[in-house]
Amino acid sequence: MATIRALTAAALLVPEGARRQELLRLIDAESSEVDALLALAGPDDTSYGGEAVDVAGLVRSVIEPLVPTTEAALAVSETDVGPAEISRVALRRILRNLVQNAVRAAPDGRVEVRVRPGAQVGARSSGGVTVEVADSGPGFGRGPRGLASQGLSIVTELAAAVGGGVDIGRSELGGASVTVFLPSTQAG
């Protein structure tokens, strides 16, 4: 909802034309995502598996509406990866939490999202997809207090619910790095 509010504010500030139409398109897309989330979420919904999701495509759909709402430089890099076995709604929530946390930590800095093949959960390594969100902010525990820890616990729970995992560290950009490992759609 915060993204929808920010996009609406931006749309109200720009004159009629192509830029406003693009912002309205993004508002519509975000509203559809909220509808999908609300339709799937019930009071006891913990079902987060079962579908093959194009991770790189979903990353782009999460980043696109955030670009006009922040001064942070947002970048996505991806290598050729197969789909991950996860609920589209759960993965969107994971990505949204991580990217919004990174943007809050580096509001006028840099946020990079990297999608690559391979997953490692604990000592076990397998196929799958890895998504890393890195920022140039101050790093964990050094920035302003907020909801980041709550968002990270949700990310950890969702990743674990689908057989994945989360690794938290320092990024080469100087701030935090959160890496999510997602299982492959291929058995084995």
Q: Which runs of E-coded beta strand occur in 55-149? A: 73-78, 84-85, 110-121, 124-135
Tens digit of each residue's pLDDT, the chain (188 residues) = 777 777 777 777 788 888 788 888 778 777 776 766 665 554 444 455 568 888 899 999 899 888 888 899 999 998 888 788 788 888 888 998 899 889 989 999 999 999 998 755 444 445 788 999 999 998 876 655 554 455 788 888 888 887 888 999 999 999 999 999 988 765 44
Residue 23 lies in a domain: no
**Burial of 1 per CB tally in 10 Å (0-12, 13-18, 19+):** exposed
Contacts of 9 (CB under 8 A, 6+ apart): none
What's residue 45's pLDDT? 46
CATH number of the domain that 137 lies in?
3.30.565.10
Which residues constitute the domain of residue 144? Answer: 48-182
Residue 39 lies in a domain: no
In angstroms, rounded to a whole number, what is the distance separating the alpha carbons of residues 159 and 74? 23
- Grouping H, G, I as helix, E, B as strand and the rest as coil, residue 73 is strand
Domain count, the chain: 1
Residue 16 lies in a domain: no
Residue 31 lies in a domain: no
103 dihedral zone (left: phi>0; alpha: psi -120 to 50; beta)? alpha
What's residue 8's pLDDT? 78
In angstroms, rounded to a whole number, what is the distance separating the alpha carbons of residues 64 and 127? 28
In terms of DSSP bridges, do strands 110-121 and 73-78 run parallel, antiparallel, or are they unpaired? parallel
Residue 19 lies in a domain: no
Residue 58 lies in a domain: yes
Chain position carrying tokens 């909801």? 147
What's residue 87's pLDDT? 82
Residue 109 lies in a domain: yes
Residue 98 lies in a domain: yes
What's residue 171's pLDDT? 93
**CB 119, CB 125: distance < 8 Å:** yes
